[in-house]
Amino acid sequence: MREIINGVAEGMGAHAELKYIHGFSPLINDAAMVDLLHEVASDVCGEENLVIPMVPGMGGEDFSFFAEKVPAAFYRTGCHKEGEPIWPAHNEHMVVDTGCFQIGMQVMVNCALTYLERN
């Protein structure tokens, strides 16, 4: 990074300084936990209601610190309220369908119980 930054700056007749501050670690899902999550979420929500992103995202997430210590899988619950515009998460205009909380907790609890039964 330093070489690229210096090259661009020099090309423009300027000087650059790089100060890199390490933020969140990458969130890496454990494959076995993803399989368990998929199984449980399919039972709770129905396979046809699952949306599985095929492209990794670049969002930061502090859950990554937990996933470094124990096998884990990160999931999102659909919270878009029918009939409302779709806004990104953490936006002041976002309207949440609070029914997603019950579904998300049911998936989380069922994952924990299934994991404990099998291990």
- The CATH number of residue 61's host domain is 1.10.150
Per-residue b/e over 33-61, b at no fewer than 16 CB within 10 Å?
A: bbebbeebbeebeeeeeeeeeeeeeeeee
Indicate the range of 10-14, 57-61, 73-77, 98-102 predicted with least confidence.
57-61
How does pLDDT run across 7-22, given as a tens digit for each residue?
999 999 999 999 988 7
Structural domain includes residue 86: yes
Q: Which two tokens stand for residue 103?
A: 């579904």
Structural domain includes residue 66: yes
- With beta carbons less than 8 A apart as the criterion, state whether 6 and 16 touch: yes
Name the domain count of the chain.
1
Supply the range of the domain harboring residue 82.
24-118
Structural domain includes residue 95: yes
Structural domain includes residue 31: yes
Structural domain includes residue 40: yes
How does pLDDT run across 29-51, given as a tens digit for each residue?
999 999 999 999 999 999 999 99
80 DSSP β-pair partners? 96
**Reported confidence tier of residue 90, pLDDT bands at 50, 70, 90:** confident
Structural domain includes residue 87: yes
Structural domain includes residue 12: no
